[in-house]
Chain A
Amino acid sequence: RKEVEQDPGPFNVPEGATVAFNCTYSNSASQSFFWYRQDCRKEPKLLMSVYSSGNEDGRFTAQLNRASQYISLLIRDSKLSDSATYLCVITGGSYIPTFGRGTSLIVHP
């Protein structure tokens, strides 16, 4: 089992839809969790940190489920500009970040 796994998609949704991605991890000692956004041929940029209590930033909600070892990202009211690849990043006991391969989101009119 890979350390960090994501469904590569693509998730193809209409504007205004709600879409959710999950990212599973294998190391139960993982300590920190992030979602990054990467646009085509650009560098990743931090979207959200994921806290144990969950966190929300506008249309974006991130949650952590330690029991089942996954994090999630929910996007409400999708915009065309949300089209991108979403990478989960998890730091385990080694303290070195491990990236998922990313989930591609395409929002269409």
Chain B
Amino acid sequence: DGGITQSPKYLFRKEGQNVTLSCEQNLNHDAMYWYRQDPGQGLRLIYYSQIVNDFQKGDIAEGYSVSREKKESFPLTVTSAQKNPTAFYLCASSIDPPATSGRALGDEQFFGPGTRLTVL
């Protein structure tokens, strides 16, 4: 079955450590996204990538880094520079972002199950 996976489901980090969250999709989607969700809040965009070897900062990119070396993979690194990293991290993908598809409507985003990161 096609889908999007994230690992690990739960992650604990000591202050000052970098950690990398995995996101893999086998849906052949071009676009991938990373969001952060805090309790009682909506999703905030960290980074997104529309194509391999290219990615853009979202609204809250400071303290995070990403890479997109393969179409299927979009790992997120939470660095020690992120002041308040404890949150629920969600990865998503979509077939083709409107900017490159030329279509008027955006495409549905498919989400992975998320990673809960806790800083000890």
Contact = CB atoms under 8 A, between A and B. Distances in A.
A99 B43 contact: yes
A32 B114 contact: no
A46 B106 CA distance: 13
Contact of A87 (B40, B43, B110): B43
A67 interface: no
Contacts of B105: 31-32, 49
Contact of A101 (B33, B42, B90): B42
| Overall SS of chain A's interface | strand
A28 B112 CA distance: 30
Contacts of A100: 42
A44 interface: yes
A1 interface: no
Interface residues of B, number: 25
A61 interface: no
A8 B39 CA distance: 12
B108 to A, nearest CB: 5
Interface of B: 33, 35, 40-45, 48, 58, 88, 90, 97-99, 104-106, 108-114
Please provide the 8 A-B residue pairs with the shortest distance between their CB atoms, ordered closest to farther: A32-B106, A101-B42, A43-B111, A95-B99, A91-B106, A99-B43, A99-B42, A95-B98
Given A43-B114, A95-B97, 6 more contacts: A32-B106, A42-B114, A91-B106, A98-B45, A99-B35, A99-B43
Interface of A: 4, 6, 8, 31-32, 34, 41-46, 49, 87, 89, 91, 95-102
